[in-house]
Amino acid sequence: MRPEFLIVGSGLTGATIARTLHDAGRSVLVVDRRPHLGGNVHDHSHPSGIRLHTYGPHYFRTSAERIWTFVNRFQSFFPYEAVLMSQVDGRFEHWPIVGEYIRRTVGEDWRPSFTGTPANFEDASLAMMPAVVYEKFVKGYTEKQWGVPAVSLSTDLAGRFDVRHDGEVRLKRSRYQGIPVDGYAAFMTRLLDGIPCVLNFDWLRNRDVFQPTRWTIFTGAVDEFFDFDMGRLAYRGQRRRHEYRDVDGFVQPVGQVNAPSPADGPHIRVLEWKHMMHPDHRDNIRGTVLTYEEPFSPTVPDQYEYPFPDQRNRDLAARYQERARAIDGLLVCGRLGEYRYFDMDQAIARAMLFADRLLQGGWRPTEELEMPKLEA
């Protein structure tokens, strides 16, 4: 088989590009070395009947009408607005931090502990809050997550949270928020319905088996594509330990409780999946399942989850990406391909942009596309 477009990886980026090209009448083949579709956007059923997100919690949210319309083509979403908490001083406190907590513990006339231009993640965090709050909520969690001192991380990482002075407790304020009614595995299967897919196939070890007539779209790790010949990029992943509790109701007040203190153990959060199920699916299930997530530094690409937020790795990724863009007929994209963290709606929007450019014939191998804006 010689498709016009060969897509390596069936995750959200690859699947969205495949769907867009297929809908336009183009010949597409998707290959994936895992035994299931969907990459990290996958879930499975615990013996209790509780659905677990295999690679960590996926809270879908967007304020873009076109993205919401697109995902609802493949499955209905039930409303789920993620509310997170952190265990601090023996209490459950909201995360992101609410101004009420700071006033309650520090005082009404509190001030951030850093002024000026932040040089690193710790500075950027202290520019938002007093040092005592940073120590309780942020420092330990961040250093467990990344395995290095907070001062060595990029200031950009602090842009993923804020202090909520208006009392908003939802993780995100997006207009549309939810989880697929039948789960993420079913959603991804429907997204790729009708498109030829080959699973359990490691394309990097068998690059000559499928030869596209036009483009190869590679959504794996960019350093692995080049056999790590300029060095390995750093990633973090999570080891997940599942624990069934034979109880009525819930153990936690919300689906995700962060564990920022090193004294709590090596895990950074505890997930209670029953919170993330449609009430019609969970109400007749006995017990609950907790998942403890412990960060580690994987060396096996199949375990890569989070690109490492520091300048050395960004510079190395940029050199790999420059080489990739210089290869005619090759597009390397997605979270691992571009070495950037994307929310799900961002991944879909960017994949649509790449697919549109490919269809128009206007994308050049040396061109680097900016992140599309997601207006409401």
CA distance 219 to 335: 8
CA distance 153 to 317: 16
Q: Check: CB of residue 217 under 8 Å from CB of residue 195.
A: no
Q: Is 192 exposed, middle or buried (0-12, 13-18, 19+ CB in 10 A)?
A: buried
CATH among 3.40.50.720, 2.30.30.30, 3.40.50.740, 3.40.640.10 for 5-38+192-231+307-360: 3.40.50.720
Where do you find CATH 3.40.50.720 in the chain?
Answer: 5-38+192-231+307-360
Q: What is the pLDDT of residues 308-366, one digit of tens each?
A: 999 999 999 999 999 999 999 999 999 999 999 999 999 999 999 999 999 987 555 55
Six token digits for residue 158: 């602090």
* Mean pLDDT of the 258-284 span: 95
Phi, psi (degrees; rounded to nearest 5) at 70 = -60, -50
3-class DSSP assignment, residue 290: strand
Q: Is 183 left (phi over 0), alpha (psi -120 to 50) or beta?
A: left
β-strand partners of 235:
307
Element (H, E) at 23: helix 12-23
pLDDT score, position 1: 72
Most confident range (mean pLDDT) of 107-111, 165-169, 201-205, 282-286 is: 201-205
Buried b (16+ CB within 10 A) or exposed e, 86-102: bbbeeeebbbbbbeebb
Peptide linkage before 180 cis (omega within 30 of 0): no
Q: What is the pLDDT of residues 75-129, one digit of tens each?
A: 999 999 999 999 999 999 999 999 999 999 999 999 999 999 999 999 999 999 9
CA distance 284 to 110: 47
Q: What percent of the chain has pLDDT over 90?
A: 93
CA distance 172 to 81: 8
- Give the global pTM: 0.94
Q: pLDDT-derived band of residue 376, with 50, 70 and 90 as boundaries?
A: very low
Which residue has tokens 């950037």?
340
CA 169 to chain centre: 20
Element (H, E) at 249: none
Element (H, E) at 25: none
Q: Is 200 left (phi over 0), alpha (psi -120 to 50) or beta?
A: left
Q: From 186, 254, 216, select the one nearest 358 (Cα to Cα).
A: 216
- Cα Rg for the chain, rounded, in angstroms? 21
